[in-house]
Every structure is written in C-alpha cells, then in structure tokens.
Structure 1
C-alpha cells in the first residue's frame, strides 16, 4: 500500500486488496463530460442522451447534424413547450407554408383555447395537390402539434384551396375525412389533370360535391 492510505496498520489482506482495486478504478478514464455533451457524445450513444433530456421527437433517418441539433436544443424546447412558439416551431419543421390561427384572431372569435393549422394545398410555386394534401402530412401535423401544444387546447387542420381565382377553405382533423370519388366510366368533359388530388391521385371534392380545380391558382 502507498503511504497515503487511510487503512490502519492492522488491516487484513482483503481490505488492502480492495483499497488497491479502488485506486485502479480512479485511474480509469470515464468520459462523463463528453457523454453529456451533444456535440461530443458518440453518435451510437446520442439517442440515449436525447432520451435522458426528454427529446419528444426522434427520427433514426435524420443526419448526424440534425440529431445533435435536436439534442442540444432539448432543454430550451422543454421550457417553451405548451406555448405558441413551440407550436409554430413544430409547424416550421414540417412545412414552411403552414400557418397558425388562434381563436382570438378569427372573425367572429372562436371558442377559447382553440386554434387552426392552415396548410395551403397550392404552394408558392402554383403546384396543387399531391403530397400537400396527403394523409401522411396531416397525420404528422397532428402528431407534432399534439406533442407540444397545451393539453387544454383543441385544434383543426385546415387545407386552404385556391379555386377559380378565389380562396376557399376546407378541412378536417384527418385527411381521411375527405370524400373520395367513386370509380366509374368517364363520360364528362372534366379536365382531370387540372383537379386537386390526394396522395394517391384521387380528386378531392368540396362540401357541395364539386371537384376542386387548381388550374386557376
């Protein structure tokens, strides 16, 4: 034993051996600081660090840079959780054209503690339909907003449609609530290529049963 040992002179061989073993443990490099740092944590261990920091959303397909950024912002994200900022941040991560309209921003005012998420079916480039009105996109919006919004709040997902030069809005909580067009012989003069469709190419209809035409957008 070294001279700085605190063991008494009459220590047993077992006590001396355990003390020496403890000294060896002290020499082992334990990278605790690196493991708790999102910038230096090994990528294989990063999901566990994210879990310990209460990261709400994790995708194994993200790049390493995205995973480290999400982990690094976890504490700040938890501080903002339940706020308007948290909801807007979640929406921005899905689609830059998503907008949030709270109950007090409508005319007439809506029910307190409610809001709507507006998704334009026709993008800034004028392209209509497709992925923008897919059930997968709507499901992602709902899941991400529920994750960060206040528990007391309720919301609708509204798909905004530009029809014949005017703006109309139609929507529901889930894209599956849209009516689908029954298959049958086409004897009309409908320009099917101009219609707004869902993710599998089926045309959407409005509340009156009319096809939604995106050619005038």
Structure 2
C-alpha cells in the first residue's frame, strides 16, 4: 500500500464527493422555484458565475489546504515533510489542468440542470419568489463546485505513485498560509490532537508492549496465571551456617 494512502485527510476530502448530489439537488430546487423572471441566458450566467468562479479561482491560485477542516486545522509548522509534499502536489500543473476541466464540466452540468429543473417544481415552496430561487440555486451550485473540485484534487493525489510524490519538494511551513487557502479553528486542542495522531499514525496498536513504572518495556508473561509466582510471597531462606573448625 502506498504510504500516502495512510493519510486520513486525503480520504476525508476525497469522500466529500458523496455530498455532490445533495448540492446538485439544492440547485435544482432553486431553479424550479417561481416563474422565470429574466432571460434564460441571464439566469444561467448568474448561477454559473456565482457557483463556479469563486471555487475555480481558489483552486487555481491558492488551492484548498486539505489539512484544514471547517472545525479545525493543523498549524503549518506541525506538518511533517511528507504532508508538505502532499501539499506540493496541489501546486503542480496537473492540478491546474484538472481544475480547468472540472470547471468546464460544471458549465455543462449547469446548462443541463436548467433544463431538468421544472421536474422538481413539486418540491419547491408554493410562495417562493424567483429571486429567492436564483439565490438558492447559485448557493447550491457553489457547493456542488466546491464538493467536486476539492475531492477530485484529493483523488488525483491518492492516485500518484510513491516515486512521483517523493520527487516533490516539501512546501516550506512559512509559505503555506500565503500559497494555500486555510480554514478552520486552530484553537480546538482535543480535535486537533486527534487529527494529528490519525495523520501521523501514532495511535497505539492493541499488541503494543506496556511500559512499566520505570519506563522499561514489560513483555507479557506467557505462563498461565496458576504457574506465576508472587515475588512478595517468596520467603528468603537463611544462609547455611559455616561449621566450626575443630582445630
């Protein structure tokens, strides 16, 4: 197994693709709300620009830092060299090509969603206005882009071979905040430590040896309990007396 496959942050963000259909559904409900107010091309352009442009600009200029989540982020100075190599993969030309292709795909999807939106009219509120519907559609399309672009980028890194990843230079810790979009609160120590331990693989396995009170490793005694002796119950035998010299 590739070593970077043990990085939980990559899998967490790759799994975000599962939320993509939910955001698409929200977009459809927004487009189905109310009667058309503006020309079709204008409404499509509004939803496309608001939904695609911010996410595309972020991934193109300052890719999302996958070691940050909405609830917590790992400080750059605490990232390992291997983790900073993973970040370097998001600055490669291949990442930009994938970002562009994903944006073009979402343009095509947005056009198709407008055609299918009337089928979802029964799910919309009866008193909803078209302007409110377009706002909901734009927000849903933004979420759909976000949960497509970031998971696709994480999946691409997962598919890299170890030699490809090893030849990348780690991003200096002091440059991460200026070259990546970092979100999340760093002041949640419990969650932060959990994420760090998962990332570094420091969680203790069930078969690990237990350390004694002096810090020495104590291996388990393979003998059954009935054969083990309690050192405190042992009685020291007196030393044999030296016989007197008859001379």
Q: TM-score range by the shorter chain?
A: under 0.3
- Which has more radius of gyration? 2
Greater relative CO, 1 or 2 (CA 8 Å, sep 6+): 2
Greater strand percent: which structure?
1
Q: TM-score, normalised by structure 1?
A: 0.23
Using structure 2 for the length normalisation, give the TM-score: 0.21
- Which structure: greater helix fraction? 2
